[in-house]
Amino acid sequence: MAFLIVPQIDLVKQHKDLRTEIFRVFEDILSSGRFILGRYVEEFERKAAEYLNVRYGVGVNSGTDALVIGLRSVGIGRGDKVITTTFSFFATVESIMLVGAEPVLVDIDERTFNISVEDVKSKMSEGIKAIIAVHLFGQMAEVEKLKFEGVHLIEDAAQAFGAMRNGIKAGSFGDVGAFSFYPTKNLSALGDGGLITTNIPEVYKNAKSLRVHGSYNEKYKHENIGYNSRLDEIQAAFLLVKLRYIDEWNRKRNEIAKIYDEELKDFVMIPYVLEGNFHIYHQYTIRTDARDKLAEHLRKNGIGVSIYYPIPLHLQKPLRELGYKEGEFPVAEKISKEVLSIPIYPEMEEWQVEFVISKIKEFFKG
């Protein structure tokens, strides 16, 4: 591959601008001697909850743990069935299996790539205890259509910090929201990190207990078998620095997306934004049946691209025991052969955006 002229994301550039603030909070933590569940974790949980318009936030080790602990916090476990999309990162379905529940997979909406409401309705049956709706690539699913009596709604908002649907923030609509702060996310740590959000006091209490070995307020008294899944104090401090910029960064992503939309609409299928949604463009994902050749062309020209996701979950080896077969979810299978995510990040310079556009046009005109 050629030298990267336009990486898919440039964290070096982002952190260069924040260097002074990041080093200041790092020095403050070193001086305090408090490294686990200190004031920065508490402050981040409070400010993130305020930003997301929820009552409670619980910082955990990763987005995967946010899903696992979130499911357990609402009582999902062995013998339960959980509906989710077949087109997502593996952690979505993995979390269901890790708590002993059975995944019930459904297809996706071809426009948004999010979970198909119609397919969810067709799969509703006795034993369904929860739905995990993934807000894929930074666009919220139709959450208002996924509320069913006696069924918990879990929002996998790993890619959607700041996304909204009809003015409602991702992670504030369901019983549980699960966020990831993996370094490539819109709001990112300098390592792993995650957040559980909820408006339900009992769920909040359960999540706080499960993240520290099933203990709650009294040290060495354990109510459950839990996890060692605390958000690191240093990462919480870094996230607090970045939280101040998240709206600006999401706005810049939208500005770049609008340029892409206008310039690329005659060459590829551009992202479809559902009415009422504020898309934060964690990924700007285009579609073309010439995906693989286009990806090769862009990489040869120094442009970083990725395919999310080349294999739907129902075709992954660990899920073979569930009995799903090729052809069962035709939309997801079709999309997986056509999607390509191109560079989009707040620090992209105008010439870089123009370069990506020029090379895509060059491919199709050539």
Interval 302-333: pLDDT, tens:
999 999 999 999 999 999 999 999 999 999 99
Cis check for the bond before 245: say yes or no (omega within 30 of 0). no
Task: With beta carbons less than 8 A apart as the criterion, state whether 144 and 124 touch.
Answer: no
Interval 16-67: pLDDT, tens:
989 999 999 999 999 999 999 999 999 999 999 999 999 999 999 999 999 9
Average pLDDT of the segment spanning 150-164: 98
Buried/exposed code over 102-125 (b: 16+ C-beta within 10 A; e: otherwise) = ebbbbbbbeebbbbbbebbeebee
Q: How far apart are CA 17 and CA 347, in angstroms?
A: 10
Residues ≥6 apart with Cβ < 8 Å to 248:
346
Q: Is the pLDDT of residue 2 over 70?
A: no
Interval 193-209: pLDDT, tens:
999 999 999 999 999 99
Q: How far apart are CA 72 and CA 180, in angstroms?
A: 18
Task: With beta carbons less than 8 A apart as the criterion, state whether 271 and 137 touch.
Answer: yes
Q: Is the pLDDT of residue 184 over 70?
A: yes
Q: Is the pLDDT of residue 1 over 80?
A: no
| pLDDT at res. 217 | 80
Query: Which segments of the chain belong to CATH 3.90.1150.10?
Result: 246-365
Give the CATH number of domain 11-107+114-243; options: 3.40.50.1220, 3.30.70.20, 1.20.120.530, 3.40.640.10: 3.40.640.10
Average pLDDT of the segment spanning 115-132: 97
DSSP state of 230: P
| pLDDT at res. 3 | 81
Residue 151 three-state SS: strand
Q: How far apart are CA 363 and CA 35, in angstroms?
A: 51
Q: How far apart are CA 236 and CA 243, in angstroms?
A: 10
Interval 260-308: pLDDT, tens:
999 999 999 999 999 999 999 999 999 999 999 999 999 999 999 999 9
Task: With beta carbons less than 8 A apart as the criterion, state whether 153 and 173 touch.
Answer: yes
The class (CATH top level) of 246-365 is alpha beta
Written as six digits, the tokens of 54 are: 């929820």
Measured over the CA atoms of residue 34, residue 35, residue 37 and residue 41, the dihedral's sign is positive
| pLDDT at res. 366 | 84
Q: How far apart are CA 150 and CA 168, in angstroms?
A: 22
To which residue do tokens 């999401």 refer?
250
Query: Which segments of the chain belong to CATH 3.40.640.10?
Result: 11-107+114-243
Task: With beta carbons less than 8 A apart as the criterion, state whether 88 and 106 touch.
Answer: no
Task: Give, in order, the Cα–Cα distances in Å from 149 to each of 126, 145, 329.
Answer: 12, 12, 26
